[in-house]
Amino acid sequence: MKNILVTGGAGFIGSNFVHHMLAKYPEYNIVVYDKLTYAGNLDNLLPVKDDPRYAFVQGDICDAAQVKNAVEQHDVDTIVNFAAETHVDRSIMDPDAFIQTDVYGTYVLLEVAKELGVARYHQISTDEVYGHIPEGHSSVETDPLEPRSPYAASKAAGDMMVDAYFITYGLPVTISRGSNNIGPYQYPEKVVPLFATNAMEGLPLPIYGDGMQKRDYQYVIDHCEGIDAVLHHGQLGEAYNVGTGNEIDNLTMVQTLLDELGASADLIRHVEDRAGHDRRYSLNVDKLKSLGWVSRHTNEEAIRKTVRWYADNEWWWSKIKSGEFKEYYQKQYGERLALAN
């Protein structure tokens, strides 16, 4: 591994992965390939913009000629695919872009990897592909994929296509399935940055339904270290879960967040639930641990560290919470908040 194409590297997890890899491996070069959708943000890559080992290409993963060009020009031997439409609520409003990018875009990358003989293709996937997980079980990698939202279904389709390229063409692939990530540079549509920034602005925190849904909130750098472990020590054709191995309910998440900010619980509003809302995700991460990786933050530490980053980096999120974001916020929460008690 020497020249890595990081698709979606201007987004939240991708940019953290770029920082992690450039800091840890002086011999690697990174090319970020990103369409710069509403979620892509070059501010996330400001700390590396003058690093000679980093290059940026603006492009769509659905455009085979453009992807091929980037791979050839930069002599890419490894593709790590973070590029995706990622927000469940947006996938409920309008699934089209999810099918395009998360399904068709994955296929395009696999085809280019096959045609140009790329040495490794790694797919970034999610715990949501396993669907709702009843109490008493934690998903293992061999569990059936039972996605329930358009987002989760598009990611599951991507995973299946990756497996198909391994089985049919022998493409050297791996997959990682992460739980909910939180940390620096997350677009404030996802719950933790939305609630942290709303609380700082004195705005309501819209909890869907009873707030007893469970998620494994992991610190993004732990996830990046997990991907790094899979890239260096993972077995081809295998998937690896990445998370803390523990989950908490959303009311506990919000109490921790408010406590870290010293803000009042009066901001909490229970609003109409998300359609098809998965009650619980839970990952068994023993397979990744067997590669020597450990998760270094608990759910609570991850929440507190993330909230502190948002408190210290208003410059980053204040410009995002205008324009496109305001339109989305009104559409998603306007009526819900008006009807909330």
Q: Which residues are catalytic?
A: 127-128, 151
For ligand NAD, the closer CB: 85 or 263: 85
- Nearer CB in complex with ligand TYD: 35/215: 215
Q: How far is the CB of 115 from ligand TYD (least distance, A)?
A: 33
- Among 39, 109, 229, 257, indicate the residue that binds ligand NAD (CB under 6 A): 39
Q: Give the binding range for ligand TYD (CB under 6 A) out of 139-147, 208-216, 257-265, 297-305.
A: 208-216
- Which of 88, 118, 268, 320 is the binder for ligand TYD (CB under 6 A)? 88
The interface with ligand TYD within residues 162-191 (CB under 6 A) comprises: 180, 190-191
**Which 237-256 positions form the footprint of ligand TYD (CB under 6 A)?**
250
Torsion, Cα 125 126 131 135, to 10 degrees, reads 140
Of 56, 82, 281, 329, the residue at the interface with ligand NAD (CB under 6 A) is: 82
What number of chain residues touch ligand TYD (CB under 6 A)? 12
Part of the chain binding ligand TYD (CB under 6 A), chosen from 13-21, 31-39, 201-209, 282-290: 201-209
Q: Residue 223 CB, nearest distance to ligand NAD (Å)?
A: 7
Q: Could you tell me if 270 and 251 are in contact, meaning their C-beta atoms sit under 8 angstroms apart?
A: no
Judged by CB under 6 A, the chain residues 297 through 326 that form the site for ligand NAD are none
HEC-encoded secondary structure of the chain = CCEEEEECCCCHHHHHHHHHHHHHCCCCEEEEEECCCCCCCHHHHHHHCCCCCEEEEECCCCCHHHHHHHHHHCCCCEEEECCCCCCHHHHHHCCHHHHHHHHHHHHHHHHHHHHHCCCEEEEEEEHHHHCCCCCCCCECCCCCCCCCCHHHHHHHHHHHHHHHHHHHHCCCEEEEEECCEECCCCCCCCHHHHHHHHHHHCCCEEEECCCCCEECCEEHHHHHHHHHHHHHHCCCCCEEEECCCCCEEHHHHHHHHHHHHCCCHHHEEEECCCCCCCCECCECCHHHHCCCCCCCCCHHHHHHHHHHHHHHCHHHHHCCCCCHHHHHHHHHHHHHHHHCC
Q: Is 19 in the site for ligand TYD (CB under 6 A)?
A: no
215 belongs to the binding site for ligand TYD (CB under 6 A): yes
Least CB distance from residue 272 to ligand NAD, whole Å?
A: 23
What does 105 interact with, of ligand NAD, ligand TYD, none (CB < 5 to 8 A by kind)?
Answer: ligand NAD
208 binds ligand TYD (CB under 6 A): yes
User: Residue 111 CB, nearest distance to ligand TYD (Å)?
Assistant: 28
User: What residue ranges bind ligand TYD (CB under 6 A)?
Assistant: 88, 180, 190-191, 194, 206-208, 213, 215, 250, 274
